Homo-oligomer: A and B are copies of this chain.
Amino acid sequence: MENHGRVMYELAGSMFPICRSITGNGFRKSLQMLKDVVPEIQMHEVPSGTQVFDWTVPKEWNIRDAYVETKDGEKVIDFTKTNLHVLGYSVPVDQWVSREELFSHLYTQPDQPDWIPYVTSYYKERWGFCVSENQKKTLNDEEYHVVIDSTLEDGSLTYGDLVIKGDSDDEILLSTYLCHPSMANNELSGPVVQLELIKYIQSLSHRRYTYRFVFIPETIGSITYCSQHLEELKAHVKACFVLTCVGDDRDYSIIESRYADSLTDRVLRNVLRFHYPDYKTYSFLERGSDERQYGSPGVDLPVCGVCRTKYHVYPEYHTSADDMSLISPEGLNGTYEMMVKVINALEYNYHYVVACCGEPQLGKRGLYPTISQKGSYNAVKATVDLLAYADGRNDLIGISDLIHQPVDVLIPIINKMRANDLLRVKELE
């Protein structure tokens, strides 16, 4: 276990300094680092100007340097210290401006005066810098030299995906984004956990479901992806997870689907209630990441968000304080293990039907205590309850919910019952 966490944490650390955005070389380089680990990941480029649903793929943004300099040549704001200093998607600028004009291009988070906020202006051309409120107070010169060495030009939007075939065309979709600059929990935790889950799925000797993994820029990326794969997604996706902010050590959170009734909701609630009972539930009204797009009318995928502490909720969110100290190997590994439980529950989530009429005689198969005394029944309660609700009406998650037994307690019982020909699987007949 420690191993998975350490591997994920180290990869996140090496990706941390890159200046990512929704397009450009920062995103490409980050995706390549994932592909270096799992070469099967496919990279795709979608040209600027491509119509995607109601949206248009924007110009590509790249940046080399940026700073604010005093007359004395002192760089008082310096992109090389942290790329959060630049307003995302800033157009190029190189001029002397008054303090007043500079201030009209400065973004701060006054209620968190020590931290640099993360701010972007994707869909309106602007230039700007982001600083802490306290740093802003030190800027007392009359004039400043502002330089942003960026380009905003026709290019393309990049994304990656990987489809791993299973027995069925039914798909489980996992999606995460890769477009934020130097932030740890609200950027790198999702991709590194998803990468580890790819390795887990690849390691399985047998898969019921086909698994689709998607790495995109947030919002415009999920719109683009859905626009270009709508028919197959609608036909095949049975459960869809958006992974983000999954690297800290705090409680788990889920963002429910539009009506909180999908298989995705059911499997998450089931796993979390038994194993992480302090988890938090947020309704679809509190969505904010790609579940907004995957779950929008017309797309209608059965999507939930999966977080530890949710974006918007933890104080370091979208600031320079969301750094590598906010996440941990244990935090990343916890999400990984939780999602492995989710995947196992889905793989076993059939409608089971007891093969005989009435309760089977477990005793003659050595599966029931031969002495009947007060309390002897407890040892086989999970088995007997599983069989009682294996009436074809409930899938495994439903049975688990009904009989208050975790799916991982039930899986070995199912295997034993199937070995004894006592359970049939409706879907496999």
Cβ–Cβ contact B354 & A391, under 8 A: no
Closest to A422 in B: B54
Cβ–Cβ contact B363 & A123, under 8 A: yes
Give the distance in Å from the alpha carbon of A357 to the alpha carbon of B359 in the complex.
50
A95 in the interface, Cβ–Cβ < 8 Å? no
Q: Taking the nearest CB of chain B, how far is it from the CB of A314, in angstroms? A: 11
Give the distance in Å from the alpha carbon of A359 to the alpha carbon of B296 in the complex.
6
Provide the A288-320 mask, 1 if CB < 8 A to any CB of B, else 0.
100011011111100000000000100001100
Q: Taking the nearest CB of chain B, how far is it from the CB of A175, in angstroms? A: 14
Give the distance in Å from the alpha carbon of A312 to the alpha carbon of B223 in the complex.
58
Give the distance in Å from the alpha carbon of A295 to the alpha carbon of B358 in the complex.
8
Give the distance in Å from the alpha carbon of A392 to the alpha carbon of B363 in the complex.
49
A388 in the interface, Cβ–Cβ < 8 Å? yes
A109 in the interface, Cβ–Cβ < 8 Å? yes
User: Which B residues are CB-close (under 8 A) to A88?
Assistant: 372
Closest to A55 in B: B361
User: Which B residues are CB-close (under 8 A) to A356?
Assistant: 53-54, 298
A284 in the interface, Cβ–Cβ < 8 Å? yes
Known: A298-B357, A358-B298, A359-B296. A284 touches B388 (CB 8 A): yes
Q: Taking the nearest CB of chain B, how far is it from the CB of A98, in angstroms? A: 22
Known: A121-B370, A123-B364. A358 touches B288 (CB 8 A): no
User: Which B residues are CB-close (under 8 A) to A373?
Assistant: 107, 109, 117-119, 318
**Which residues 33-65 of A sit at the B interface, judged by CB distance below 8 A?**
53-56
- Chain A contact patch, size range: 35 or more
A214 in the interface, Cβ–Cβ < 8 Å? no
A206 in the interface, Cβ–Cβ < 8 Å? no
User: Which B residues are CB-close (under 8 A) to A124?
Assistant: 363, 370-371
**Which residues 74-123 of A sit at the B interface, judged by CB distance below 8 A?**
88, 107, 109, 117-123
Cβ–Cβ contact A353 & B388, under 8 A: no
A164 in the interface, Cβ–Cβ < 8 Å? no
A389 in the interface, Cβ–Cβ < 8 Å? yes
User: Which B residues are CB-close (under 8 A) to A263?
Assistant: none
Provide the A345-378 mask, 1 if CB < 8 A to any CB of B, else 0.
0000000011011111101100000111110010
Cβ–Cβ contact A387 & B121, under 8 A: no
A227 in the interface, Cβ–Cβ < 8 Å? yes
Taking each of A54, A299, A377, A384, which has the highest tally of chain B beta carbons within 10 Å of its own beta carbon?
Answer: A54
Taking each of A56, A223, A358, A404, which has the highest tally of chain B beta carbons within 10 Å of its own beta carbon?
Answer: A358
Give the distance in Å from the alpha carbon of A389 to the alpha carbon of B298 in the complex.
11
User: Which B residues are CB-close (under 8 A) to A299?
Assistant: 357-358
User: Which B residues are CB-close (under 8 A) to A269?
Assistant: none
Give the distance in Å from the alpha carbon of A123 to the alpha carbon of B117 in the complex.
72
Give the distance in Å from the alpha carbon of A390 to the alpha carbon of B258 in the complex.
11
Give the distance in Å from the alpha carbon of A402 to the alpha carbon of B391 in the complex.
31
**Which residues 371-417 of A sit at the B interface, judged by CB distance below 8 A?**
371-374, 377, 384-385, 387-392, 402-404
List residues of chain A with CB under 8 Å of any chain B CB. 53-56, 88, 107, 109, 117-124, 126, 223, 226-227, 230, 258, 284-285, 288, 292-293, 295-300, 312, 317-318, 353-354, 356-361, 363-364, 370-374, 377, 384-385, 387-392, 402-404
